[in-house]
Chains A and B, each alone.
Chain A
Amino acid sequence: MPVEVRLPTVLRPHAAGSSAVEAQGATIGEVLGDLTAHFPGMAGQVLTSDGSLHRFVNVYVNDDDVRYLDKLDTKVSDHDVVSILPAVAGGAG
């Protein structure tokens, strides 16, 4: 089933500038797999080479960060909104 995936500005150039696209899947892993299959330019920025969630992005289902749910196994259903945002960090070090 399709869900809406909201994209951060840094990923929009890979989707012809769209701020939101549709992707298919019953879990976050499937949705991100479908997303990166359609927009291969995003692949390395969203998932690592071993298929796990990249540490430089945060992914949400509605209001919840999937790292605190079931990560890539988090279930999604119709009308859910998946949001991807950059993980923002740094500091004096």
Chain B
Amino acid sequence: MLRLPHPAWLDMIAHCLAGLPEEACGLLAGDPATDGAVERCYPTTNVAHSARLYVVEPRDHLRADRDADSRGLQIMGVFHSHTHTDAYPSPTDVAQAPDPAWHYVLVSLRHDVPVVRSYRILDGKIHEEQVVLEDG
């Protein structure tokens, strides 16, 4: 399960909409002791600048990792937008998923209302998980 506080959800959606027509991406951090509870959203630059690919800017990642660490948090997942397809991991997403402990959040902007779904990717297999929006 992914527990997403409302401010982090808003930051994520806003970053994805602002990134159009390109895919947008960012990192999610939470307390390692409470698996699945997001506490902060770190929007990052997509250095691929593409509507079909994303690459998290490595220095943005380092900054997010350090900031999370200084707050006792840990990067626990990544989000990115699919601008014209559903919120489901593509073969590219699965092939490049770096960490089986991470939550992979997809934001589909295919329709007027953004759709957010979350997955775990273990040994190349996709497992959808529940997303719970919480007051933040």
Contact = CB atoms under 8 A, between A and B. Distances in A.
B52 A92 contact: yes
A91 B53 contact: yes
Contacts of A10: 98-101
A93 B127 CA distance: 20
- Taking residues whose C-beta sits less than 8 angstroms from the other chain, chain B's interface range is 35 or more
A52 interface: no
B80 interface: yes
B54 A83 contact: no
A45 to B, nearest CB: 9
B53 A88 contact: no
Interface in B81-107: 82-85, 89-93, 95-101
A87 interface: yes
- Taking residues whose C-beta sits less than 8 angstroms from the other chain, chain A's interface range is 10 to 19
B99 A90 contact: no
Q: Which 10 A-B pairs have the closest CB atoms?
A: A86-B98, A91-B53, A90-B93, A93-B92, A88-B56, A10-B99, A89-B55, A58-B58, A93-B90, A92-B82
Interface of B: 23, 25, 27, 48, 50-56, 58-59, 61-62, 65, 74-75, 78, 80, 82-85, 89-93, 95-101
12 contacts: A10-B98, A60-B59, A60-B62, A85-B61, A85-B62, A87-B58, A88-B96, A89-B53, A90-B53, A92-B52, A92-B92, A93-B92
